[in-house]
């Protein structure tokens, strides 16, 4: 059975960086599930049809890391039919040998509730806004407002709201550098892999 690592958390908490590093160091497959929603939102038109018809070219678009794509992702992610269309894709991906690391907002609660490791990565609003502003070359105050709006929308949606799984380990990266955050995540994986 493949080893699954589920990493959830709000935008700019560090979950993607941690997920990529874990996958690389462990030789696992990695899926940034947010890209599926970003690509669906960026396609425009009927979001349900867009989710059902996602292809490799859609996931390779250069604009998927933009703030606009992130906002569009949050809007389409609130549509139950869009989420249903993307669930199977994510679950198939997770079953790849030797293992997979998936990061998103509902991996440990909905997509892979039986994942062997569940991390919920978070950081203060101000730190997340500063990180995202630096990444995009944007105004930190504007980023803070956008992140809070997105957090509210993601946490309050009826289907698969953003929240830690009951058995997730909380990893607060507010005062951690990248290597320290990765080391903390690896320590949790090692604890489960090598009890």
Q: Is the Cβ–Cβ distance between 75 and 55 less than 8 Å?
A: no
Residues 117, 25, 129, 168, Cα dihedral to 10° = 10
16 labelled ligand-binding:
yes
33 labelled ligand-binding:
no
163 labelled ligand-binding:
no
C-alpha radius of gyration, the chain, whole number: 16
Q: Rounded to an integer, what distance in angstroms lies between the CA atom of residue 107 and that of residue 96?
A: 15
Pull the structure tokens for residue 72.
């569009």
For the chain, list the domains and their CATH numbers: 3-186 (3.40.50.300)
124 labelled ligand-binding:
no
| 3-state percent helix, strand, coil for the chain, nearest multiple of 5 | 55, 15, 30
11 labelled ligand-binding:
yes
Q: Is the Cβ–Cβ distance between 128 and 13 less than 8 Å?
A: yes
pLDDT score, position 68: 85
55 labelled ligand-binding:
no
pLDDT score, position 194: 81
Q: Rounded to an integer, what distance in angstroms lies between the CA atom of residue 83 and that of residue 76?
A: 8
Q: Rounded to an integer, what distance in angstroms lies between the CA atom of residue 134 and that of residue 194?
A: 37
pLDDT tens per residue, the chain (195 residues)?
799 999 999 989 999 999 999 999 999 999 999 899 999 999 989 999 999 998 888 988 999 988 788 888 888 988 989 988 999 889 989 999 999 999 999 999 999 999 999 999 999 999 999 999 998 889 999 999 999 998 898 888 877 888 999 999 999 999 999 999 999 999 999 999 887
pLDDT score, position 17: 95
15 labelled ligand-binding:
yes
| Cis amide leading into 98 (omega within 30) | yes
pLDDT score, position 162: 87
Q: Rounded to an integer, what distance in angstroms lies between the CA atom of residue 56 and that of residue 170?
A: 33
């Amino acid at each position: 059975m493949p080893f699954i690592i589920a990493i959830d958390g709000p935008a700019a908490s560090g979950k993607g960086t941690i997920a990529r590093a874990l996958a690389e160091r462990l030789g696992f497959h990695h899926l940034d599930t947010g890209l599926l929603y970003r690509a669906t939102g960026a396609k425009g038109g009927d979001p349900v049809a867009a989710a059902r018809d996602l292809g490799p070219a859609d996931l390779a678009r250069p604009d998927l890391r933009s703030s606009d794509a992130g906002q569009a992702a949050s809007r389409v992610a609130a549509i139950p039919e869009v989420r249903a269309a993307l669930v199977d894709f994510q679950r198939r991906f997770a079953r790849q040998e030797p293992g997979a690391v998936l990061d998103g907002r509902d991996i440990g609660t909905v997509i892979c509730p039986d994942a062997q490791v569940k991390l919920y990565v978070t950081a203060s609003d101000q730190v997340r806004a500063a990180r995202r502003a630096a990444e995009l070359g944007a105004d930190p105050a504007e980023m803070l407002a956008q992140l809070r709006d997105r957090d509210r929308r993601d946490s309050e949606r009826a289907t698969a709201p953003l929240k830690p799984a009951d058995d997730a380990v909380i990893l607060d990266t507010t005062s951690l550098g990248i290597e320290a955050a990765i080391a903390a995540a690896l320590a949790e994986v090692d604890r489960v892999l090598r009890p």
